[in-house]
Amino acid sequence: MGRNNGGTGRMERKKNVVRHRAPIDKSSFVFGTRSVIEAIKAGKEIEKILVRKGLSNELSRELFTLVRQMDIPVQNVPIERIDRITRKNHQGVVAFLSPITYQKIENVIPGIYEKGEVPLVLVLDKISDVRNFGAIARSAEVAGAHAIVIPEKGAAQINADALKTSAGALNIIPVCRVKSLSDTIIFLRESGLHVLAATEKGEKNYFETSMREPTAIVMGAEDKGIESELLKLANEWVKIPQFGQIASLNVSVAASVLIFEAVRQRIQAHS
């Protein structure tokens, strides 16, 4: 976890964070400007598009117009990065296909209330390790959480490795990719959810706050924790008490602790 997420003391320092990079599955991407355009028009779910810096021609302008209309994340990168993915005639454009279909949090929340259920949502602030992300998704699905919210930029790519680590949970639990986590937290609060930020700065232990009401739990990045802007928007900061020498928990473990505390409280409330 990061320094200010999960209430885990000093947390994992950036130099200690090990990134897991899965081999690139050649079936998971499309290259070439026209091929990417056709993939978008065919309704393929696009994870992100890499575009060579400075690319500008008639066909690329058509692509950029389509990308804006479909709200697809785009990264401008050096040509060398694209060459590392494929040496074929990529024309400076590679699109990664998503194995899941993203949902809109604005549609998910009303649906939860309509079913008469109490929302439990996870907001993940730039958690970039695919194994951590997959493990969190697995715990969330097992616990009956209703959705996971991730940002367009800085989040772990949902690929075969993430799916495997999640034990298939990413095919079940709604994943909502948003432009702005800040705007989404405001939306969640306006929708009646109590937003808890898991941070070592919390004055209250996680089990001392109620999660029986509609709740959103914010977890921070492995190295930096929760962004200060998001901390300010949270209703409450909570921590996980620690007594060992390491004083740090993996973010997926910390997320599980909080998720199942919500489950415990909700079961107790109905017993």
83 Cβ contact partners less than 8 Å away, ≥ 6 residues apart: 90
Contact assessment for residue 255 and residue 6, using Cβ atoms and an 8 Å cutoff: yes
Return the sign of the alpha-carbon dihedral for residues 3, 5, 9, 11.
Answer: negative
Predicted pLDDT of residue 50: 95
Nearest to 155 by CA among 211, 75, 66: 75
Residue 35 — φ and ψ, nearest 5°?
-65, -40
Domains of the chain: 14-18+101-269 (3.40.1280.10), 26-97 (3.30.1330.30)
Tokens 């109905």 sit at which residue? 270
pLDDT in tens, 166-213: 999 999 999 999 999 999 999 999 999 999 999 988 989 999 999 999
92 Cβ contact partners less than 8 Å away, ≥ 6 residues apart: 33, 51, 52, 55, 60, 79, 82
pLDDT in tens, 119-170: 999 999 989 899 999 999 999 999 999 999 999 888 888 888 899 999 999 9
pLDDT in tens, 80-91: 999 999 889 999
84: left (phi over 0), alpha (psi -120 to 50) or beta: alpha
- ∠ at Cα 130 (129, 135), nearest 5°? 105
Nearest to 138 by CA among 104, 172, 109: 172
Dist CA 140 CA 180 (whole Å)? 22
Average pLDDT over every residue of 101-113: 95
DSSP 221: B
Position 270 confidence tier, pLDDT thresholds 50, 70, 90: confident
